[in-house]
Amino acid sequence: MFRSELPSVVILASGSGSNFETLVNKSFEGKLRAQILGLIVDKECYAITRAERLNVPYYVLNKPIWENLEVLLGNLKPDLIVLAGFMRIIPDWFVKKYYLKIVNIHPSLLPAFPGKDAIKQAYNYGAKVTGITIHFVDEGVDTGPIIFQKALQTEDNWDLEKLESEIHKLEHENYWRVLNKILNEGFKVENRKVVVGG
């Protein structure tokens, strides 16, 4: 594959892949200054259909997932591993090997509503403010150092579907911007505090 001078990423997904598609489009538009080396999935999912349509190479991981992913990453050598709806808990040895190289997006204001179905958790809880969190991955579930958060004030008349669509809108508006910054402006982490650029 042709390697540009740009920093490179792989994107890992297990589901619809709407964040993956947005990131690819932003890189095609030159707004996300990164080369997307490929989509990596752990099962058949709609994200593959999007990759085919966008002409982005994709890889389906077979078991043992993490060992095979390690080999694939060794070949592709991305600067950053971007999780976008990758529905697996990463084993400790893998996180240690790639610490501060794996970024995740989570659809709530962490530490509220970690884990699965975060949008539904916030909805059922009756949260008036929720949002999104972009963070580095550590050994816990959605506990890693926070890079970026954006709050969303909910309206009392929103149903779950409306909340989901507003959260996804926020994700699509912000994930590429944040990745662009950490890839092109650098960052440092002091204790848990992530300082981007500068």
Binding-site ranges for ligand GRF (CB under 6 A): 13, 15-20, 84-85, 105-107, 171
Residue nearest to ligand GRF (CB): 85
What's the min distance (Å) between Cβ of 183 and ligand GRF? 19
- Cβ nearer to ligand GRF, comparing 20 with 98: 20
Q: At what angle do helices 18-28 and 160-185 cross, to 10 degrees?
A: 40
Candidates 106, 135, 168, 172; catalytic one? 106
CB burial class (10 A; 0-12, 13-18, 19+) of residue 151?
Answer: exposed
> From start to end of the chain, where are the E strands?
8-13, 35-41, 58-60, 80-83, 102-106, 129-136, 146-153, 187-190, 193-196
- Cβ nearer to ligand GRF, comparing 49 with 68: 49
Phi, psi of 11 (to 5 degrees): -120, 130
Longest Cα–Cα distance of the chain, Å, equals 50
- Cβ nearer to ligand GRF, comparing 67 with 161: 161
Asked about 135 being catalytic, the answer comes back as no
What's the min distance (Å) between Cβ of 4 and ligand GRF? 24
What's the min distance (Å) between Cβ of 86 and ligand GRF? 7
Q: Which residues are part of the catalytic machinery?
A: 106
